[in-house]
Amino acid sequence: MSGKLYIVPTPVGNLEDMTFRAVRVLKEAGLILAEDTRTSSVLLRHYDIHGKVQSHHKFNEHQTAALIKDKILEGLDVALISDAGTPGISDPGFLLARTCAAEGIEVETLPGPTACIPAIVSSGLPCDRFCFEGFLPVKKGRQTLLASLESETRTMVFYESPYRLVKTLGQFIEHFSPERQCCVAREISKIHEEYRRGTLEEVLAWFSEHEPKGEIVIIVAGKPDSRREGHGGKKGNGEGEQ
């Protein structure tokens, strides 16, 4: 009987964000695939998880995906985790999930932590419709992608390195205008969690004088669209749909 692939989100900051179900699945799995075994060992020790751990990251996933798939077909339950957040979202995971799904293997993804959702909800910008762009290309294709987003009316979500934040905000100003509203979320779910809100020009000025550190999520308002109602949803009274 074939085993199963579990995609298990792990905390982006506070270890208490781990779910009971995630802990149980990791304890019961025959094999845990970790992006960085050293990083994951802190979490696994904290929750007294002692299963077999194997490295699975962007540099070896093409070689290991087929081998893992065969182990699952032989009956092994495998759990995939990344350093933080949900695997597959700007982290390794997509290739293995696709490989297993193509073989008819059950892929079960647990709900759990990810940086983009708390960032956009806390930003104060519309979150009824948004597009997730992840990390922008570092070089080739970067300007082309930004140009394609100039007419985007949905709120845009980006991940960025603190070392490139100031440069990226400057490029956003070139493509979206200095007055476009934005929010930079830093160190989500960690001790020094911070949100810097304002226009792109204002936020750029702040980080030009205050060196950014830690994990960064940038939320940028979409191009104004007069057809959209209110600021956060379809209902004018501010209530969300259940």
What sign has the CA pseudo-torsion 145, 150, 156, 162? Answer: positive
Contact 5, 98 (CB under 8 A): no
User: Where do the domains of the chain lie?
Assistant: 4-109, 116-220
Residue 242, pLDDT score: 33
The tens digit of pLDDT for each residue in 42-95 reads 999 999 999 999 999 888 888 899 999 999 999 999 999 999 999 999 888 999
Q: Is the pLDDT confidence value at 240 over 80?
A: no
Q: Is 214 left (phi over 0), alpha (psi -120 to 50) or beta?
A: left
The tens digit of pLDDT for each residue in 164-220 reads 999 999 999 999 999 999 999 999 999 999 999 999 999 999 999 999 999 999 999
Residue 140, pLDDT score: 87
Beta strands in 4-50 (DSSP E): 4-7, 31-34
116-220 CATH fold? 3.30.950
Greater confidence (204 vs 233) lies with 204
Contact 120, 195 (CB under 8 A): no
Q: Where does 4-109 sit in CATH, by number?
A: 3.40.1010.10
The tens digit of pLDDT for each residue in 91-114 reads 889 999 999 999 999 999 999 999
Q: Is the pLDDT confidence value at 32 over 90?
A: yes
